[in-house]
Amino acid sequence: ELKVEQNPLFLSMQEGKNYTIYCNYSTTSDRLYWYRQDPGKSLESLFVLLSNGAVKQEGRLMASLDTKARLSTLHITAAVHDLSATYFCAVDVSGTASKLTFGTGTRLQVTL
């Protein structure tokens, strides 16, 4: 059974600091997604990583994928309060986006 683990589960950081969220998964996959969820809201797609070594960046967030290590990272640069949310990684092993297995989520709190 595919397991997807994120760490940390909770992250409190000051504005302006950098940090990385890690996503480890247990089965070979070359398709990994990052989503953001604000409290009481839906999930918003952030990144789709489709191959080993893929790197995507959007604003202060950068995601990468190492399929050999079965590891994805979400790096936050110079955090701002607006980035406070829960971040999920999700792995697809079916070859289509038909069966995503989500990580446990990382709740990020950026303090002023």
Partner 1 sequence: DTAVSQTPKYLVTQMGNDKSIKCEQNLGHDTMYWYKQDSKKFLKIMFSYNNKELIINETVPNRFSPKSPDKAHLNLHINSLELGDSAVYFCASSHGGKVLTFGAGSRLTVL
Q: Cβ contacts of residue 46 below 8 Å, gap of 6+? A: 33, 34, 35, 36, 58, 61, 63, 74, 87
Interface stretch with partner 1, choices 12-20, 53-61, 71-79, 90-98 (CB under 8 A): 90-98
| 87 near partner 1, rule: CB under 8 A | no
Per rule CB under 8 A, count of chain residues that contact partner 1: 23
| 41 near partner 1, rule: CB under 8 A | yes
**Burial (Cβ within 10 Å: 0-12, 13-18, ≥19) of residue 79:** buried
Binding site for partner 1 (CB under 8 A): 33, 35, 37, 41-45, 48, 86, 88, 90, 95-102, 104-105, 107
